[in-house]
Amino acid sequence: MMLDHIDKLELSGDAADKYGNELRPLSYLSEGLYYLYKQVKGIEVTVAPKPNPKMRVSIFGNEPQKGLVVCAFHWYAVTICNYVRLIGWLTHGEDKHQATEYVKRVIPAVYLWRNKVAAHFSITDPQKEDTPADLAKSVMSLISFDDDAYFADSLTLSMRRKGTTSTSRQDMRWSLTHTHENLSTRYWPDSGQ
C-alpha cells in the first residue's frame, strides 16, 4: 500500500493488515482536508477575480467569510499535521522522532504555524525562542489574500516594548489551497483531490 507517492513510502501487505486501525484515520482525515480545501478554494475564486493576468491583488482586512477562512486554516493545519505524522510514524517503524522529522520536511511552514497558532496560541504557552512579537502575533488573524489565494502569516510584526524591539518569525507563510494541491501529488494522486 503506497502512502507517499513522492518518497515512495509504502506498507507491505502484512504491515497493512497489522495497521488496520491506524490506516482508517487516513481515509477520514483526507476527506476532511479535501472538504476544507474545496470550501476555501470556492471563497478564493470569488474574492478577487483578476481581469488582467498581469495585475497582482493583495487584500488584508474584510474579505468575504474571513472568519470561516481563518478557522479553516486552523483546522487544516492541525489535521494535515496529524495525517502526515501518522504516515511518517507508520513508514518509519513507529519511531516518533522520525515521524516528526518527516512532518518538518514535508510541510515545514504548516508545522510551525500549527505549533505557534493552530494547536494553541503561543501567547498561552510561550517557548524560549518566542519573541514578544511572536506572542502578540499568535492571536492576530493574519490571514491575507495575495494574488490568487489566502496565505497564513503573510505579514511580519515588529514592536517595541520597554525599550526593546522584537520582530516576529518569518518562516510560517503558507496557503491552504496551494499546500493541498501540492500534497495531492504526494498522497492522493488518483483521487481527484
Local confidence band at 67 (pLDDT 50, 70, 90 cut-offs):
confident
Domain count, the chain: 1
Quote the CA–CA distance of 82 and 124 in Å, as a whole number: 22
The yes-or-no verdict on residue 58 having pLDDT over 70 is: no
DSSP states along 89-133: HHHTTT-HHHHHHHHHHHSHHHHHHIIIIISS-GGGS--TT--HH
Strongest mean pLDDT among 38-47, 107-116, 148-157: 107-116
Find, among 141, 83, 145, the residue nearest to 111 by Cα.
83
In a domain, 192, yes or no: no
Burial string for 49-64 (b: 16+ CB within 10 Å, else e) reads eeeeeeeeeeeeeebe
Q: Quick check: 29 pLDDT over 90?
A: yes
pLDDT band (50, 70, 90) for residue 62: low
Contact assessment for residue 34 and residue 181, using Cβ atoms and an 8 Å cutoff: no
pLDDT of 51 > 70? The answer is no
Inside any domain, residue 193? no
Q: Is residue 95 part of a domain?
A: yes
What pLDDT is stored for residue 30 in this prediction?
A: 96
User: What digits encode the pLDDT tens for the residues 174-190?
Assistant: 999 999 999 999 999 98
Look at phi and psi of residue 87 and say left if phi exceeds 0, alpha if psi is from -120 to 50, else beta: alpha
Is residue 114 in a domain?
Answer: yes
Residue with cell 470556492: 42
User: Grid coordinates 515512495 are at which residue?
Assistant: 8
Sequence-distant (≥ 6) Cβ neighbours of residue 62 within 8 angstroms: none
Give me the pLDDT at residue 57, please. 64
141 falls within a domain: yes
Residue 56 above 70 pLDDT?
no
73 in a structural domain: yes
pTM listed for this prediction? 0.89
Whether residue 66 contacts residue 74, with contact meaning beta carbons closer than 8 Å, is answered with no
Burial (CB count <10 Å: 0-12, 13-18, 19+), residue 96: exposed
Domain that holds residue 70: 2-187
* 175 within some domain: yes
Q: Please compute the mean of the pLDDT values over residues 13-42 and round it to a whole number.
A: 91
